[in-house]
Amino acid sequence: MQYCVGIDLGSTTTKAIVVDEQGKVLGRGITNSRSNYDAACAVAVSEALHDARFAQIAGELEGRGIDADRRAAWVLDLERGFREQQYRAQLAHLDGALQRALREHGRERGHEAELETALATILARMAAEPRELFAAGANRKSDFFRDLAGSRYTEHAGMLTRVKSETLSFDALVGLFDKAILDVEAKVAARSDFAEHAQRAAHELLERSRELEQAIERAAAVPMEEVSSVGTGYGRARLPFPRSRIRSEILCHGLGAHVMFPGTRTVLDIGGQDTKAIQIDAAGIVTSFQMNDRCAAGCGRYLGYIADEMNLGLHELGPMACKSTRAVRINSTCTVFAGAELRERLSLGERREDILAGLHRAIILRAMSLLSRSGGVRSEFTFTGGVARNLAAVGALRKLVHENYGEMTINISPESIYTGALGAALFACREWSHRELAA
Amino acid sequence: MTETLPALVQRATELSRDWRLSSVRAWKQRTGALAIGYLPVYVPREVFHAQGVLPVGLTGAGDDLEIIKGDAFYQSYICHLPRSTIELGLNGSLDCLDGIVFPATCDVIRNLSGVWRMQFPSKMSRYLDVPQDFDRAMGGVFYRHELEDIAREIHERGGRKLEAEALRASIRVYNENRTLVRELLTLRREAPWKLPTAELYVVLRAGLVLPVEEHSAMLRRYRDLAQADAERRPRDQARVVLTGSFCEQPPLGLIKTLERAGCYIVDDDFVPVLHWLRGDVCTEGDPLANLVTAFLEDSIDSPVRYCGDGTKGQELVQRVDESKAEGVLFCAPSFCDPALLDQPMAQAALDGRAIPWTSFKYSENTGQFHVIREQAGTFADSIKLWSEA
Amino acid sequence: MDVAGIDVGSSAVKVAVVRDTGAAGAELRLGVAERIRRRDPRKLAEELFNSTLADCGLVAGDLGYVATTGDAEELAFRTGHFYGMTTHARGAVFLDPEVRAVIDIGALHARGIRIDARAKVLGSRMTSQCASGSGQFLENICRYLGITLEAIGPLSLLATKPEKCSSICAVLAETDVINMVSRGVPTADIIKGIHESMAGRYLKLLTSLAFEGPALVTGGLASDVGLMNALREAAQAAGGRIEFRSHPRSVPAGAIGAALWGAFRARKLAMKGLALHAGGAA
Amino acid sequence: MSVSTKNPPLAATAKDDSQVRQKQMIAAHYARLARASESGEKNVYTFVPGNLTELLRSFDLLPVLPEINALQSGMRGKSAEYIALAEKLGHSEDVCTYVKCDIGMLKSGNVGPTGERLPSPDLLLLSYTGCFTFMKWFELLKQEYQCPVVMLHVPYQAEGRITDSMRAYVTAQIRQKLIPALEQVAGRKYDEDRLKECLARSAQAEEDLVWVLQSAKNRPSPIDAWFGAVYYVGPIFSAFRGTPEAVEYYRALRVEIQERLTKKLGPVTPDGMMTEEKYRLVIEGPPNWTSFREFWRMFAEEGAVAVASTYTKVGGMYDFGFRHDPERPLETMAEYCMGCYTNLDLSTRVGILTRYMQEYEADGLLVNSVKSCNSFSAGQLAMLREVESRTGRPVGFIESDLVDPRYFSASNIKNRLESFLQMIAQKRGGAA
Ligand SMILES: Nc1ncnc2c1ncn2[C@@H]1O[C@H](COP(=O)(O)OP(=O)(O)O)[C@@H](O)[C@H]1O
Ligand SMILES: Nc1ncnc2c1ncn2[C@@H]1O[C@H](COP(=O)(O)OP(=O)(O)O)[C@@H](O)[C@H]1O
Ligand code: SF4
Ligand code: SF4
Ligand code: SF4
């Protein structure tokens, strides 16, 4: 099967979308690895291809007389099992990387033996967890290995060092993890273990089925051929593509939003380090845009620091902020000081959810200014980028758009983080058809 | 009149942050006359008054209003005042004004006049170019033309024709107001604990929206009440002159912070339109000529007024002496070119006399005073500890 | 007379106990710092205060003055409060009488203070409300790189080819750093690069104060030998007019200064016949 | 207005006659200034907008333009150091960097762009036109020099026109304040005939300059009317208007451009000649001087050429017909002062930009907003929107600074510029 791929190499996450020659979306992939651009691209693409394979599996199961709900449940369970297998495989990498880190850096800290025992304990505890972590309905902090493993690791490390020990320090243990994870991210990259993980996952399902296993085999056997690719995003100058295959984020977001919601005239994208307000016409062509200047205040990364500070997952922030009844007014939004601001407010006795609500509102207020600068909200409006996944941010945005521009259709889709990648994929698709026509 | 001191201060505080101009709306409803807004730093309000117009001083929106659309008009490196002014225009708060006058204060206000015209083409909006040549034969002639021109436009828009007798009467009313303002400023110099700046500030700012007669009444009452309050006793605080805040006004919280951090502000340049002219304007003879002459020859020193003889800073030194201040706080709006470019000259003058100073910046919506508190507190500490030692 | 100073910062609490011997001067009995790490700073301050007193064999009633500085104005058991630059100046002169400037580098801000021999603050400059080049930023980066605070300094000293960080914004700089990691730039060179850019800013801050004499670095980052080294190198490159010093007790300098000013006030007030007791506000 | 004598940015055209000529003119001028203390020649510091060069020249006074010195410092990589020095002396980070750069240069020995010392001023002529910062600038210089200052207050064209009162005010100041001061400094009487000769020469040079700038109406444009044109306006905006050298320079320049036009050649960029003109832009705002070549290259690489710009009108608007009129010497100078671009109200500025967009068949308007300059920057965003709605063509916005390298973020600017150009392309339906 031939496919075109669009990659949005963001500052925080890398997103990939694969489409067929008609521009139909086959699969989506995302990773938060930031340490290595090539690896990040490779991981995102392979995740997107996995996603495409699951769609194929679902397709293979169709028309075989299996009840639709049951089919859907199979695929869902299969995916969950697949993630668990991936997680296990990565844990194994982590183990190796931790040992290496210990050898390299443990000595300078002394107490290698004690650290080694502690590591063994932590890893053993972590190895026992995946089943539970990936159980249906389980509340995971994140789907990214770095976050997930990181939070489990710190928790176990915290428990081990709670008993006051002269020699075993929490910081040393965490330091080892922070070293090792870089290694894992760089290495894990693109090996496609799809069939292996999927079959193993299928074996572990409660309800085993021959049909499913065959579907996996068939789907895994379909050859996938990349015919065209376009990259965009913050890191686009470093993408492993020629210049001609790189498009500005503005155009990609504009086109992506247009395809998702054809009535869109205004697009707001809040990513990790930048915010863009884009106006497009009826054909998805950009007519004007504004971006934040060199200050990253009020972007998604801000929420990242807040989440770290509160030891929460990113997706937990929004719901907590939504519980607020009275948002605290926040003035400074220097991203790096987010944690300090939070601490200060807490110590002034403000309620946590009210502070959070205030922080979200502050971010959206900044975005509102950019929006206004780009020409305001004239009619249908689409909110994209990672922060669109945050309920409290969305809530604040709805309210402010309503107050300032009146009733408007506001589109927010769970896929909105992929908007830029989608636009890029469509540019890739066009580029390919031009080539085909020319040939 | 039985208004108590707290009630008066409360009323003044509300007026000082009344960016919706509800008091102006009420006044217009009562009188059916015109109200015309003006930006800092100085306009001859007597002319408006003589034409039956209420002059309304605009100083942005303070720290109450979230600026959204106004930010679309101004880059991050421009002061805050124009963006809140635009925001107020766009959200309808200034609808009750029949026009706005933009005095030649700085490039930002000058260009704001152009933005305003493009944005609100149907309203009267007028740039008032003030001379930087202070010779009656040149700057004087030009300025007189400008004033006559404005008066004509106001008349065309429904204000009374400018008549000499009415203008003389208005000058008298404003002379009285200026006398009261000067009196309060002098009283504060003598006993800053009796007239804390956080109060005086809002009482003066109320004068931007109140009819001058009402404001004079408020000033009188405030003077009597504050002086009579026996609870107000001196504390161990450092006496400082605050300078740089002549245009965009600081949030009240900033002034409170400074006083709490151990400073008595004994002189400042807030709301300069109220005391721009040092003395009374002459009420004999041609009143317009008198206003022009007063502007040319009796204006206070200000960063937006040309000082060609190299004596920049001397007036500040003199203010320090007269108010027996122990130091100077340079407190200017961020990105305010006139205020900030003036500072090195003023600082050199202070250094020449070994007068201590410190400087910081604010914007009208600054909400965190942490750093400023530390800085002002340390400044006050050092004055206190060392004057004692 | 024994006096205590408490300095509550945004990332650490510092407590000092000083014995004031009147004319003979003063002697530092103990100066300690404890990182806050998500605890309630006020409670922590109280705990640290109590444990420090205990380590000195004292109880609160023994103290002639409890002085606070930093964010500790509201502590109930204080006698009086002094502002941060006043106390850092005093602490610096106590630790090193030759210095004529102090640069206090903490988690959020750096401030340069010009002083005279009597610790009088003659002028000051502060970094803006932007995190670029702050301690917090360095901390974030090191967290990412997997280096503990204590390891930062020594590691920086190992650098051979420091890599410059181009962004002004700390968040964007973080991305620069991530990129450096992916290009295989050694950690030591990255850290040193950051130290150099911080040093450049601090040097500029101090230079603008136009003072004569050595400068003492106080605050948490004084214990960062890498930054100290970068500061000295930067000063050298700029003509060597500024000599940067640090002192083993640089970190609690603010608390020490507060204690000393407390002693000063206590004596003053005693002369005026006003009795004071720790625990009550002056 | 800026041939860097050490490091000519236009290597490829260094042999052009006009280029050589300009270099010589500038070098000779600075050399003359450096010798001023021996030769006894007197000089006057003044500003580019509203400069009264003809009048000074008629007194044999040499003009010195601190703005030009500042931009030269920027191009020579000296500005960071100068600005740092000024900030050390108490200037705020927030204010105009031209001022700080000049103060820094002054405090570092007042060595000008050619490496020779500049003389102290014999007079500060504060032509207060279009910018309030000028006033502060010379107040600051007044603290350094014991020389007289003349304030020439030039009223603002708030209503888009010059009234009789405004004209009378400026002429009165020239006649009653400025001329007596110049007589004092120069030690000679005002000679109106000489002034008239200078003004006639100005008009001639202005005619040729306008022709050169308007050559950009052709496709391809033979010139870059922003980056390239800052060189073209140099002599006329600075020390040379009204001199025979300036007349010759513009004559020669016109011949050269005529030749490019005949051969249908594009503009010369730092990397040689532009072969394909892909985007025609109107540009509002000054350029950045610290990364001038890098900045220009970003445009050149994309095939973007400036066909008209407002910055090249700060020293006088000539393209809508104004010429110095020797028959009304003082009035014409007054009108000239009041007609500089930054002395015009915003709707007039919008009108000019809109006309440029149409007359030069531009694909879009790009604003380079510089942090330093409120005179330009405050209100640019409103202008941008207005031009967009009047022309329906794409507009773009980038931010930098004149001479403070801290505010030139190459990657940020490149990102916005590329997005803007791709937007134009997409709109044209060209590339996808
Ligand atoms: N599941 C989630 N819930 C809430 N917020 C999220 C979630 N995932 C990502 N985000 C937010 O999105 C931001 C990253 O947005 P993204 O568009 O991926 O940025 P970039 O394109 O710059 O990489 C994060 O900083 C975070 O604030
Ligand atoms: N050994 C060290 N090396 C580098 N940085 C350090 C070290 N010790 C402390 N710090 C830094 O010092 C900062 C805290 O300094 P401190 O002056 O206590 O700040 P504050 O007063 O703001 O709490 C923290 O940001 C921390 O990163
Ligand atoms: S605050 Fe300063 S810069 Fe801003 S408008 Fe007022 S005078 Fe102008
Ligand atoms: S304020 Fe914060 S987010 Fe903005 S530039 Fe500075 S460090 Fe970056
Ligand atoms: S503000 Fe603008 S016009 Fe004025 S001196 Fe600075 S750069 Fe020149």
Tokens 């020239």 identify what position?
A: D174
Q: How far is CA D183 from the centre of its chain?
A: 28
Q: Does C82 touch chain B (CB under 8 A)?
A: yes
- Closest by Cβ to C84, choosing from B378, B386, B389: B378
Give the pLDDT of residue C37: 78
Q: What percent of chain C has pLDDT over 70?
A: 96
Q: Residue A38's domain spans which residues?
A: 2-67+204-211+219-245
Number of domains in chain A: 3
Q: What's the CA-to-centroid distance between B248 and ligand 3, angstroms?
A: 6
Mean pLDDT of B78-84: 96
A377 and A277 part of one domain: yes
Per-residue confidence band for A35, with pLDDT thresholds at 50, 70 and 90: low
State chain A's mean pLDDT as an integer: 86
Q: Give the relative orientation of helices C187-207 and C170-182 as an angle to the nearest 10 degrees.
A: 150
Q: What is the pLDDT of residues A380-403, one digit of tens each?
A: 999 998 899 999 999 999 999 999
A114: confidence class by pLDDT, cuts 50, 70, 90: confident
What would the mean pLDDT of B237-257 be, rounded to a whole number? Answer: 96
| A365 and A392 inside one domain | yes
Residues A271 and A178 in one domain: no
State the nearest Cα–Cα gap between D419 and chain A, in angstroms: 5
The arithmetic mean of pLDDT across residues A122-138, rounded, is 88
The answer, yes or no, to whether residue B140 has pLDDT greater than 80, is yes
Q: Mean per-residue pLDDT for A81-87? A: 89
- Inter-chain touch D132–B344, beta carbons under 8 Å: no
pLDDT for the residue numbered A107: 61
Written as six digits, the tokens of A11 are 């500052």
Q: Is residue A191 part of a domain?
A: no
Closest ligand to C-alpha of residue C127 is: 4
- pLDDT higher than 80, residue C276: no
Across the interface, whether the CB atoms of D379 and B137 are under 8 A apart is answered no
| pLDDT for the residue numbered A60 | 87
- Ligand 2 in reach of C106 Cβ (< 6 A): yes
**pLDDT range class, residue A110, cuts 50, 70, 90:** low
Contact B285, B168 (CB under 8 A): no
- Return the percent helix, strand and coil in chain B, to nearest 5: 50, 10, 35
Say yes or no: A234 and A324 in one domain. no
B128 within some domain: yes
pLDDT tens digit string along D201-218? 999 999 999 999 999 999
Q: What is the mean pLDDT of residues B328-352?
A: 96
Greater pLDDT, A173 or C44: C44
Distance D98 CA to ligand 5 centre (A): 7
Any ligand 4 atom below 6 A from CB of A297: yes
Q: Do residues D393 and D280 make contact, with C-beta atoms less than 8 angstroms apart? A: no
Asked if residue B277 has pLDDT above 90, the reply is yes
- pLDDT tops 80 at residue A139: no
Does a structural domain hold residue A251? no
**Same domain as A223, residue A175:** no
The pairing of beta strand C101-105 with beta strand C215-218:
parallel
CB contact under 8 A, D419 and A288: no
Inspect the interface and report whether the beta carbons of D140 and B127 lie closer than 8 Å. no
Amino acid A138: pLDDT? 80
Structural tokens at position C35: 């990182």
B176 in a structural domain: no
Strand partners, D117: D111
Determine, yes or no, domain membership for B292.
Answer: no
Q: What is the pLDDT of residue A238?
A: 66
Which tokens in the block code for residue A84?
Answer: 């668990």
Instruction: Give me the pLDDT at residue D58, please.
Output: 97
**Which of the pair, A186 or B127, is modelled with greater confidence?**
B127
Question: Could B129 and D156 be called an inter-chain contact, meaning their C-beta atoms sit closer than 8 Å?
Answer: yes
Tell if the pTM clears 0.90, that is, is over it.
Answer: no
Q: Cα separation of B77 and D93, whole Å?
A: 11
**Strand arrangement of the beta sheet that strand B327-333 belongs to:** B263-267, B238-243, B327-333, B357-362
Does residue A228 sit in the same domain as residue A340? no
The pLDDT of residue B271 is 97
How many Å apart are CA C102 and CA D70, to the nearest integer?
34
**Residue in A295, A332, A369 nearest the CB of B68:** A369
Does the pLDDT value for residue A161 go beyond 50?
A: yes
What letter would DSSP give residue D344? B
Q: Considering only CB atoms, which chain A residues are within 8 Å of C42?
A: 347
Q: Is the pLDDT of residue D14 over 60?
A: no
Say what the pLDDT of residue A164 is: 55
Q: Give residue-wise pLDDT tens across range A216-269.
A: 888 888 888 999 999 998 766 666 677 778 888 899 999 999 999 999 999 999
Ligand 4 centre from C131 Cα, in Å? 6
The long-range contacts involving A23-28, CB below 8 angstroms and separated by at least 24 positions, are A23/A259, A23/A425, A23/A426, A23/A429, A25/A422, A25/A425, A26/A51, A26/A52, A26/A55, A27/A51, A27/A52, A27/A53, A27/A54, A27/A55, A28/A415, A28/A418, A28/A421
pLDDT band of residue C275 (cuts 50, 70, 90) is low
The predicted pLDDT at position B286 comes to 97
pLDDT band at B1 (very low <50, low <70, confident <90, very high): low
Confidence of residue B388 (pLDDT cuts 50, 70, 90): low
Structure confidence at residue C160 (pLDDT): 92
- Nearest by CB to B72, from A295, A373, A400: name it: A373
Shared domain check, A12 and A134: no
Tell me B59's DSSP state: B
Average pLDDT over residues A146-170: 79
What is the total residue count of chain B? Answer: 389
Distances (CA, A) of C153 to A112, C53, C150, C170, C194: 22, 31, 7, 20, 12
DSSP label at residue C164: P
Percent of all residues in chain A with a pLDDT value above 90, rounded to a whole number: 33
| C170 contacts chain A (CB < 8 A) | yes
Count the domains in chain B.
Answer: 1
pLDDT at B266: 97
Mean pLDDT, to the nearest integer, of A335-364? 84
> A178 and A231: one domain?
no
Question: Tell me: the pLDDT tens digits for C127-184?
Answer: 776 777 788 888 888 877 878 888 899 999 999 999 988 777 787 788 788 778 767 7
For position A62, what pLDDT does the model report?
86
Does A251 reach chain D within 8 Å, measured CB to CB?
A: yes
Taking CA atoms, D175 is separated from A20, D171, D331, D352, in Å, by 79, 6, 10, 32
Whether the predicted pLDDT of B27 surpasses 60: yes
Q: Residues with Cβ within 6 A of ligand 1? A: A 10-13, 234, 271-273, 300-301, 303-304, 314-315, 318, 385-387, 389-390, 417
Cα–Cα dist B265/B325, whole Å = 9
**Are A331 and A393 in the same domain?**
yes
> A288-303: per-residue pLDDT in tens?
888 887 778 888 888 8
Instruction: At D229, list the tokens.
Output: 């044109």
Q: How far is D87 from chain C (nearest CA, A)?
A: 7
**DSSP classification of residue B66:** P
For residue B389, name the pLDDT band (cuts at 50, 70, 90).
very low
- The closest alpha carbon to A213, from A78, A49, A41, belongs to A78
Contact criterion met (CB < 8 Å) for B358 and C84: no
Q: Is the pLDDT of residue D15 over 60?
A: no
Task: List the domain range (segments joined by +) for residue B134.
Answer: 17-165
Q: Does the distance separating the beta carbons of C182 and A36 come in below 8 Å?
A: yes
Does the pLDDT at position A214 exceed 80?
yes
- Domain positions in chain D are 17-431
Q: What number of CA atoms fall less than 13 Å from residue B98's CA on the CB side?
A: 18
Kindly list the partner chains of chain B, i.e. chains with 3 or more CB atom pairs below 8 Å: A, C, D
Average pLDDT over residues D280-299: 97
Residue D284 Cα to ligand 5 midpoint, Å, equals 15
Ligand 4: which of C132, C138, C174, C201 to mutate, most ligand atoms within 8 Å of CB?
C132
Give domain status of residue A88, yes or no: yes
Contact (Cβ atoms closer than 8 angstroms) between residue A346 and residue A352: yes
Tokens coding B123: 């309203």
Under the banding of pLDDT at 50, 70 and 90, the label for residue D8 is very low
Lowest mean pLDDT, pick from A351-360, B95-104, B218-227: A351-360
Both tokens of D349, joined, read: 């500025």
Examine the domain organization and report whether A141 and A241 are in the same domain.
no
Give the separation between CA B70 and CA B85, rounded to whole angstroms.
Answer: 7
Question: Do C168 and D406 count as a contact with CB atoms less than 8 A apart?
Answer: yes
For C92, the token pair is 């610096």
Pick the range with the lowest mean pLDDT from A75-79, B199-203, C222-226, D348-352.
A75-79
Question: Would you state the structure tokens that stand for residue D399, as one six-digit string?
Answer: 């931010």
Greater confidence (A303 vs D136) lies with D136
Does A191 have pLDDT greater than 70? no
Please report residues of D whose CB lies closer than 8 A to that of A248. Answer: 415, 418-419, 422-423
Average pLDDT, chain B: 95
Check which CATH number belongs to the domain holding B80 and give it. 3.40.50.11890
Helix axes A170-188, A37-61, angle to 10 degrees: 70
The per-residue pLDDT for range D44-71, each reduced to its tens digit, is 999 999 899 999 999 999 999 999 999 9
User: What CATH number corresponds to the domain at position A287?
Assistant: 3.30.420.40
Contacts of B243 (CB under 8 A, 6+ apart): B268, B269, B316, B328, B329, B330, B331, B346
